[in-house]
Structure 1
Amino acid sequence: MHFLITGTAGFIGFHLARRLLDEGHSVTGFDGMTRYYEVSLKERRHAILSTYSKFKPIIAMLESRKPLTEAFSSAPPDVVVHLAAQAGVRYSLENPDAYIGSNLVGSWNILDLCRQFRPNHLLLASTSSIYGANHTIPFKEADKADEPLTLYAATKKAMEVMAHSQSHLHKTPTTAFRFFTVYGPWGRPDMALFKFVSAILDGRPIDVYGHGQMSRDFTYIDDLVEAIVRLIPVIPQSATRTDAAIDTISMHAPFRIVNIGGGQPVALGAFIETVEEALGQKAFRNMLPMQQGDVPHTFAAPELLHSLTGYTPQTPVSEGVRRFVEWYRQAYRMNIKAAEIVE
């Protein structure tokens, strides 16, 4: 099949594109190479993807309708996977305009072009941040998610709602998946694991928010990609429920929301201990209160994902962290070229 994936220079888009290319599919990769974090890391990811003959990169912003239209028209996709977004909970407090442009205007452009070009399936990346400070544990897709605590979460919720309306009006089969704290090799430098490993190896203290009392449902990148790949052929059909008790398919549109998480939250303190063990080095901890917009806990209900695909993310955090540390040592401590890095 031919895939159009937005965000292929990003962490998740890179891994998904490489998996699909390895399976023999063709991929048009659309990415804006924004400067939210070091562009060189994004360029290294794209350099690896560009070694595949069936990969076509397009560098442009989602808000720019013309190049996005050309990406659709030059090779009409069978499947669209929209992963590109302005990420980061805390950065949304500093630069809200970036979230409006990318996550709302950019996502609208994707939705409207899918109306025109009619792919077999549109898959959208949403986030567990949508649940806000949900007191119902674990977080279920059918839980009320109308009280986001950050603009980032609000724009992702808005994207889901826009996608549902387009799915209803134009019968675009759409799956929105909510990610839970994705980590692994080639991860984002603004994420906790990357920051912890970098600081500990350099002998710098790490900032531990919420005094270490928070917990997160960590999802290893390979598990996330496996879940997405398995969801690609699970095309929603309006009001056709696989399991009436848990399925979220809309009664008015071929639209479904699915959590991608293992349902195994880990306390922040335990996570830091796992990082220390993988590095063989102790951290100096700077204990701090919760940051504005943070939530104390995330906890995915994985039953719908398992019902649809037979799969549940399962890589232990200890193993996932070990793999990240191995990659980091190669990529950042030994200055090995990107094309030579082996995970």
Structure 2
Amino acid sequence: RGEAGALLRWDPILAAGVRMTVKVVDEFDAPLRGWYAHVGATIDGQWESRWGPTAADGRFVAENCADGAYMVDVTEPGARFPAFRIMGVRPSVDEMVLRMTRAMRATAVITGRIVDPDGNGIEGAEVGVRREGDPVVVTVRTTADDGRYRIERIPAGSYFVEARARGRPANRSGPHVVAADVTCDAGSLRLAAPGWLVIRLRRDAGLPVGRPEICCQNVAGGRFEWLDVDEHGVARSSPLVAGAYRLWIYGLDVVTRSQDLEIKAGERTTLDVGFASGVQLRLRFTDSPVSRDLRQLRFRAIDPAGAVVDEVVLDREPPKPFEWWCGLRLGPWVIEARTLDGALRASARVTVRGIEDAGRIVPIALN
């Protein structure tokens, strides 16, 4: 602190982090060059990561790592998915050696065919694969004129196959268990005749609709579809698979609401949907030693009368935290987190004061 016009000097000393060294070798301990190494962790509520290729000696060095539980994975050059992943690694001066055996290499193949409702092959469909437990879909191939595809360079594991084509809803099959050095035939994946959804929005008290977010989920297949809202408050879907859906409306100034609906093949479903103004909070659930391996939880927002007004089941890939963007009315709330069998893992009281709270991160500890 100084007088007006005075020059103040501050020379902070920043602590150096720990260097993490990962060495990738084959089953004969020979170094593997050019493998893609990745380390990441949630530090002070933020995800941070470092990545790059291994050097000629098989090493990848991540500098200035903070103290935390890191995820480490390595991917073979040209492969679609990591060959190896380990969770909960603490930075250390000791070198971590990862030995890649033949069974871990990207030697598996998936083949199959994308067809229409009559069993005819669909040319030019986009085909992707997703490893079970991993949210990332890697689009790797478009189909030939007979609808066939061939996906190479994947490690052994369980995979879903997902496909989409112009004018048709996406679909998926699996999980398909794929072994090293084996070609797995995933069979025919059918892209059904589509249905469509049109939503006309209105906000309470006649206020302008704005641009809330809209998402619908196919209840049977678990797929999500996001709809853009135009300047007239109307949202239109891309082609959808016929069946039962759940619709969500949310946003920074919106009370989250959900609604069930049915989509029929060859028909356009139009809904008039009202929603209320509110405030969206970013609820971040911090782990304890006993919760850090949890991958799925059910979250509830409970009003002062004890009614559950919003409920969602969320997945995560540890060590990333569970986060729930939840839109609520002003006032006090109870937020609960439970396992799917009902065991309570967190209960916290949260008060929404006003629009200035929109997007505010609210930490809640899991037990």
Q: Quickly name the TM-score band, shorter chain normalised.
A: under 0.3
Larger Rg: 2
| Higher RCO (CA 8 Å, separation ≥ 6 residues) | 1
Of Structure 1 and Structure 2, which has the larger fraction of its residues in strand?
A: 2
